[in-house]
A and B are shown apart, each in its own frame.
Chain A
Amino acid sequence: DGGITQSPKYLFRKEGQNVTLSCEQNLNHDAMYWYRQDPGQGLRLIYYSQIVNDFQKGDIAEGYSVSREKKESFPLTVTSAQKNPTAFYLCASSGIELGGYTFGSGTRLTVV
């Protein structure tokens, strides 16, 4: 079945560490996105990528980095510069049609 796979499902990070969240899709979608979800705030866009080797900052990119070396993969690194990284992170992808996105099942990151 086509879809988006995020891993790990749960991730714990120590203060000052960088961690990388994985996102892989087999939908042949060109565009991929990373969102952060906090309680009562909906989803906020961190980074997006429309094609391989290109990506753009979203609304809350500070403290995060991404790469897009392959069409299928869009990993997100949460750096030590992110002051409050505890959140639920969602990856999504979309095709060329004007429509909704397909979402992964999310990664819950907790700073310990």
Chain B
Amino acid sequence: AQSVTQLDSHVSVSEGTPVLLRCNYSSSYSPSLFWYVQHPNKGLQLLLKYTSAATLVKGINGFEAEFKKSETSFHLTKPSAHMSDAAEYFCVVSRLSGGYNKLIFGAGTRLAVHP
């Protein structure tokens, strides 16, 4: 069965410092993995996705994530945080279930960025 664990419920960084949001997954086969961002009272926006191509995936707004099969991890990083990055981030794994593409969400990590 597929599952996702986001290791930190809250992360706080200073503006201009690196961001690391950690995600571990469990999958019985090669997974598709995603990171979504949600600003308060908004829908979810896709940041990036991994679908078995390059293991280092670049997304929007300077974010990237590296798929590490040996560690079953898909951590999200950004070299320098911006105030506008403050939001909730979801790590997601996709699996086929009953013939459709089902997304399984982690519980989320709330990122705070301080001046």
The answer, yes or no, to whether A2 is at the interface (CB within 8 Å) is: no
Interface contacts (Cβ under 8 Å), in number, total: 58
Contact of A31 among B9, B42, B46, B100 (CB under 8 A): B100
Q: Answer yes or no: B43 CB below 8 A from chain A CBs.
A: yes
B90 touching A106, Cβ below 8 Å: no
- Residue B70 CB within 8 A of the other chain: no
Closest B residue to A104 using CB positions: B43
With A100-B49, A100-B92 in contact, is A94–B106 under 8 Å at CB? no
Please choose the segment from A13-21, A38-46, A60-68, A76-84 that sits at the chain B interface, where 4 or more of its residues have CB less than 8 A away. Answer: A38-46
On chain A, the residues within 8 Å of B72 by CB distance are none
Interface residues on B, range: 20 to 34
**Which A residues are CB-close (under 8 A) to B101?**
31, 94, 98-99
Which residues of B lie under 8 Å from residue A108 when comparing CB positions? 41
Is B7 positioned at the interface, with any CB of A under 8 Å from its CB? no
Query: Taking chain B's interface residues, is the majority helix, strand, or loop, or is none over half, making it mixed?
Result: strand
Interface flag for B34 (CB, 8 Å): yes
A74 interface residue (CB < 8 Å to B): no
Residue B98 CB within 8 A of the other chain: yes
Do A106 and B42 have beta carbons less than 8 Å apart? Answer: yes
Interface residues of A in 67-106 (CB under 8 A from B): 88, 90, 92, 94, 98-106
Contacts of B96 in A (CB 8 A): 98
Known A-B contacts A40-B9, A105-B43; A98 and B90 likewise in contact (beta carbons under 8 Å) = no
Interface residues of B in 6-56 (CB under 8 A from A): 9, 32, 34, 36, 41-46, 49, 51
Interface residues as binary, B81-105 with A (CB distance below 8 Å gives 1, 0 otherwise): 0000000001010101011111101
Nearest Cβ on chain B to A9's Cβ, whole angstroms: 8
Could you pull out 8 A-B pairs where Cβ atoms are within 8 angstroms? A42-B105, A45-B102, A48-B100, A90-B44, A100-B34, A102-B46, A106-B41, A108-B41
